[in-house]
């Protein structure tokens, strides 16, 4: 059993860059790229699939707003959006959170496959190497 307090339930107010009644936005403490942002429900919930409809809609509304802010501030070329739901999916904080990861031209050699690279042997489906 984890006795440490949830880092998302104990966020200092200055970390919150936007919020609504049911969710909040912060910048990731360990960013993958400049502007890496998290959208987090205020209620402590482990899985996206345990959220109620209002929480999901609140998170999606903040996701869209956060994208507009990142477009203006960082001017990325694209985005990855993702949720690690469960330990086997890589979730390390047991409070659901959605990643909005800005992507930039040249940040990786070949971005094709995107999130498919979570399982590298399954990522490349467009060449003979991937078949």
For position 14, what pLDDT does the model report?
Answer: 98
Using 70 as the pLDDT threshold, list the residues of the chain that sit under it: 1-2, 129-131
For position 125, what pLDDT does the model report?
Answer: 83
CA distance 127 to 79: 24
Catalytic residue among 36, 44, 95, 97: 97
For position 122, what pLDDT does the model report?
Answer: 80
Contact partners, residue 54, CB within 8 Å, separation at least 6 = 22
Q: Name the one residue in this structure whose structure tokens are 């990325």.
A: 76
The domains of the chain, with CATH numbers, are 13-106+113-130 (3.30.428.10)
In this structure, the strands spanning 37-41 and 23-27 are: antiparallel
For position 129, what pLDDT does the model report?
Answer: 64
Stated length of the chain = 131
Name the pTM for this structure.
0.92
- Which of 111, 101, 98 has its CA nearest to residue 76? 101
Q: Are 116 and 125 in contact (CB under 8 A)?
A: yes
| Residue range 98-121, pLDDT digits in tens | 999 999 999 999 999 888 888 888
The tokens describing 87, both together, are: 């330990």
Q: How far is CA 88 from CA 64, 108, 118, 124, in A?
A: 28, 25, 11, 21
Told to judge if 36 belongs to the known catalytic residues of this protein, a careful annotator would answer no
For position 17, what pLDDT does the model report?
Answer: 98
For position 82, what pLDDT does the model report?
Answer: 97
């Amino acid at each position: 059993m984890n006795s440490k307090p949830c880092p998302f339930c104990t966020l200092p107010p200055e970390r919150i860059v936007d919020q609504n009644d049911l969710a909040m936005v912060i910048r990731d403490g360990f960013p993958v790229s400049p502007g890496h942002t998290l959208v987090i429900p205020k209620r402590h919930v482990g899985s996206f699939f345990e959220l109620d409809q209002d929480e999901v809609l609140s998170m999606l509304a903040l996701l869209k707003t956060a994208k507009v802010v990142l477009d203006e501030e960082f001017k990325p070329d694209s985005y990855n959006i993702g949720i690690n739901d469960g330990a086997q999916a890589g979730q390390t904080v047991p409070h659901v959170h959605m990643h909005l990861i800005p992507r930039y031209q040249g940040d990786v050699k070949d971005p094709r496959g995107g999130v498919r690279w979570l399982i590298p042997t399954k990522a490349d489906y467009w060449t003979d190497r991937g078949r």
